[in-house]
Amino acid sequence: MKLVPEHINELNQFTRGLDPKAAMSIGQVSQIHKWFSDLGIERSRYSIDDKLNITVEGDLDLENTNITRLPDNLTVNGYLDLSNTNITRLPDNLTVNGWLDLSYTNITRLPDNLTVNGDLNLSNTKITSLPDNLTVNGSLYLMNTNITRLPDNLTVDGGLWIRNTNITSLPKSLKVKGTIYKDF
């Protein structure tokens, strides 16, 4: 084939018959597999759908590892332990169907679309605020944080632990089904 303008479009097509979006998806799937492999997690413990949503079956215990990030669109069908790690932010669309432990991390904020269906432990973190309309389907632990106020429409189905914080008042829209443990 001569390299003339009428043949350029033919050269731009993928030989495997994939469009560019599909090729990008294959690359992203490979990165996700590598991420899990680097953590020693077998492929039988997680799945990736066509929209790159990732589901981990069972618990994901990453405590005391060198983890610095999680992939977007992650669902953990158990607990997720990230305590004592170097993680600084959570991904978009994170769902944890058990408890989430972020204690002793450098997390400073939570994403708006976080779902936690168990306890949420933020004790001894660098968190400074929580998103409005946060719902925790268990207890919320905020001890030894720099949080100064609780967000509007916070709902906690268990206890609320706010000892050793700078919180001095509770919002009227706060809903807590368990006990509030506070210093004031």
Question: How do the domains of the chain map onto residue ranges?
Answer: 1-38, 50-181
CATH number of 50-181: 3.80.10.10
- Could you tell me if residue 84 is left (phi over 0), alpha (psi between -120 and 50 degrees) or otherwise beta? left
pLDDT given for residue 62 in this prediction = 97
Nearest to 32 by CA among 50, 14, 16: 50
> Does the pLDDT at position 11 exceed 50?
no
DSSP-derived secondary structure for 134-183? -EESS-EE-TT----SPPTT-EESS-EE-TTSS-----TT-EESS-EE--
> Does the pLDDT at position 99 exceed 80?
yes
| Separation between Cα atoms, residue 20 and residue 26, nearest integer Å | 10
> Does the pLDDT at position 121 exceed 60?
yes
pLDDT given for residue 24 in this prediction = 57
> Does the pLDDT at position 10 exceed 80?
no
Higher pLDDT, 38 or 15: 38
What number is the average pLDDT over the span 14-38?
A: 70
